Amino acid sequence: MAETYKVGLLGHGTVGAAFERLLSERADTIAHVTGCRPEVSGVLTRSRGDFEQILADSDLIVELIGGIDPARDYVLRAMRAGKHVVSANKLLLASHGEELWSTAREHNVQLRFEGAVAGVVPVIRVLQETLAAAHVERIHGIVNGTTNFILSEMARGGTPYAEALKRAQELGYAEADPTDDVTGKDAAAKMAILARLAFSTPVTLDQVTYEGIEHITGEDMNYARDFGLALKLIGTAERVDGGISVRVHPAFLYPGHPLASVNGSFNAVTVESEAITEITLSGPGAGGPQTASAVLGDVISAMIPPASTPETTASLAVVADVKSAFYLAMEVDDEPGVLAQVAEVLGMQGASIKSVVQRGLGGQARLVMVIHPLLESRFYGAVQLLARMPFVRAEPRAIRVLDEEFND
């Protein structure tokens, strides 16, 4: 008979309930692999369970409460009691990761968190283990399944944003309150975690700049088709001028980019390094069973523990002003010389036009163009100047464009 391995479960929502079912279904297989048979020894929710009793009765704690409090307190107390912890709480790790990892090292326990980023995609394990010796230069990620589903629906059939969001909620990809997803905050927390692991430097959520998808329109999707582009919510973590930049925003991608064809609720992460060139990991990113599967994988890893997350080895400055290509859309008076004046204003800030489409609207016109990469501060300086030009009839709209394509 295999020895029993007791798992205390904090939280019993969509992921927690899916994890408990999956643990029961896979217990025999896990016992064969590890020599120990896992079972849930207690469940803590708002209405049932006692944390102290669950802690005393468990070999490992799974934290699926979410948020900062009381999750932070429970995780710290569990590790100080010598218990391994598995968590899918990206907000907690992005805000208090260094404190948590330091406590894990101090008490010689495991803090595993694969389920916190990209669902079932094993990007945490790849960064911590497979690519531990690689000098990672940049990560691009579609790390929020909710927003990727919404944008895919808008692109596929011209579905309005509100309708696509409602569909995501009906399918369980979006919460009743989707604010963290659609504003980019959820993706920003995940990118903070990936940046910390990739660059071995402290990164917190408040150091990540982020924008959401709430203002994306059907017209943006139409012009994406005109230019042969895909529109995604992209997280980026990269080395810049001796520091790092970590950011989340909508971006257009050319067809050759590895993330351009990632649709629906799928997540994908591209890791770039001189040693490996580029690898892309992709898989389901939203849903209880997918995250529960990643959590269970962490439980098995903790049952056969590898080394804990090491201390940081660098303290890199966060670079706020980086280069990017841009999509720029403007409603202007349809009169001679407008395009030339727009080009002149852009040129004053060092911006040059890569491609342009013009469509008439009676006495008005809509100019849509792609701008070659330049510092974001220079580009937005040009946009501010253009907004004050007498022929511009509405606030210009700008979305970043990822200008890289990868060849086989």
11 is in an annotated binding site: yes
Cα–Cα distance between 166 and 174 in angstroms, integer? Answer: 8
Confidence at residue 312, expressed as pLDDT on a 0 to 100 scale: 82
Instruction: Give every CB contact of residue 345 below 8 A, 6+ residues apart in sequence.
Output: 382, 385, 386, 389
Cβ atoms 381, 345 nearer than 8 A = no
Cα–Cα distance between 191 and 48 in angstroms, integer? Answer: 34
SS3 for 214? coil
Cα–Cα distance between 176 and 273 in angstroms, integer? Answer: 39
Instruction: Give every CB contact of residue 220 below 8 A, 6+ residues apart in sequence.
Output: 231, 327, 329, 397, 399
Confidence at residue 234, expressed as pLDDT on a 0 to 100 scale: 98
**pLDDT tens, 351-403?**
999 989 888 766 788 899 999 999 999 999 999 999 999 999 999 999 999 87
Cα–Cα distance between 227 and 355 in angstroms, integer? Answer: 8
**pLDDT tens, 300-340?**
988 886 656 667 888 889 898 999 999 999 999 988 889 99
- Among 89-93, 231-235, 293-297, the minimum mean pLDDT is found in 293-297
Cα–Cα distance between 77 and 51 in angstroms, integer? Answer: 10
What letter does residue 384 receive in the DSSP assignment? H
Cα–Cα distance between 130 and 174 in angstroms, integer? Answer: 32
Phi-psi region of 74 (alpha: psi -120 to 50; beta: other; left: phi over 0): alpha
Long-range Cβ contact pairs of 92-96 (< 8 A, separation 24 or more)? 92/63, 92/67, 92/68, 93/189, 93/193, 94/188, 94/189, 94/190, 94/192, 94/193, 94/203, 94/204, 94/205, 94/208, 95/68, 95/189, 95/204, 95/205, 95/206, 96/68, 96/72
pLDDT interval class at 408 (50, 70, 90): very low
Nearest to 228 by CA among 252, 259, 264, 249: 252
Confidence at residue 261, expressed as pLDDT on a 0 to 100 scale: 93
Nearest to 136 by CA among 376, 316, 402, 325: 316
Confidence at residue 306, expressed as pLDDT on a 0 to 100 scale: 60
Cα–Cα distance between 357 and 336 in angstroms, integer? Answer: 16
Cα–Cα distance between 159 and 352 in angstroms, integer? Answer: 33
Q: What are the strands, taking DSSP E only, across 64-176?
A: 84-87, 111-112, 136-142
Cα–Cα distance between 87 and 246 in angstroms, integer? Answer: 23
Q: What are the strands, taking DSSP E only, across 118-257?
A: 136-142, 209-210, 230-240, 243-253
> Which of 22-36, 76-90, 297-311 has the largest mean confidence?
76-90
User: Tokens 């309005």 map to which residue?
Assistant: 160
Residues in the chain: 408
Cα–Cα distance between 258 and 140 in angstroms, integer? Answer: 10
- Phi, psi torsion values for 201, nearest 5 degrees: -135, 145
Confidence at residue 291, expressed as pLDDT on a 0 to 100 scale: 86
Joined tokens for residue 45 = 């929710």
Q: Is 294 exposed, middle or buried (0-12, 13-18, 19+ CB in 10 A)?
A: buried
- Phi, psi torsion values for 15, nearest 5 degrees: -75, -45
- For the chain, domains (ranges, CATH) are 3-116 (3.40.50.720), 123-285 (3.30.360.10), 323-402 (3.30.70.260)
User: Tokens 């009381």 map to which residue?
Assistant: 70
What mean pLDDT comes out for the span 89-99?
96
Q: Is 190 a catalytic residue?
A: yes
Confidence at residue 326, expressed as pLDDT on a 0 to 100 scale: 94
Q: What does the buried/exposed string (b/e) look like for 25-38 if buried means 16 or more CB atoms within 10 Å of the residue's CB?
A: ebbeebbeebebeb
Cα–Cα distance between 263 and 122 in angstroms, integer? Answer: 18
288 is in an annotated binding site: no
The pTM (predicted TM-score) of the whole model is 0.85
323 is in an annotated binding site: no
Q: How many CB atoms lie within 10 A of CB 170?
A: 9
Nearest to 112 by CA among 92, 85, 89: 85
What are residue 318's DSSP bridge partners? 244
205 is in an annotated binding site: no
257 is in an annotated binding site: no
**pLDDT tens, 145-164?**
999 999 999 998 789 999 99
What letter does residue 90 receive in the DSSP assignment? H
Which helix or strand (DSSP H or E) is residue 163 part of? helix 161-170
Q: Which of 83, 190, 232, 323 is catalytic?
A: 190
SS3 for 350? coil
Cα–Cα distance between 220 and 328 in angstroms, integer? Answer: 10
Q: Percent of the chain beyond pLDDT 90?
A: 74
Nearest to 254 by CA among 277, 228, 218, 291: 228
235 is in an annotated binding site: no
Helix residue ranges per DSSP H, 230-337: 288-303
**pLDDT tens, 221-275?**
988 888 889 999 999 999 999 999 999 999 999 998 999 999 998 999 999 999 8
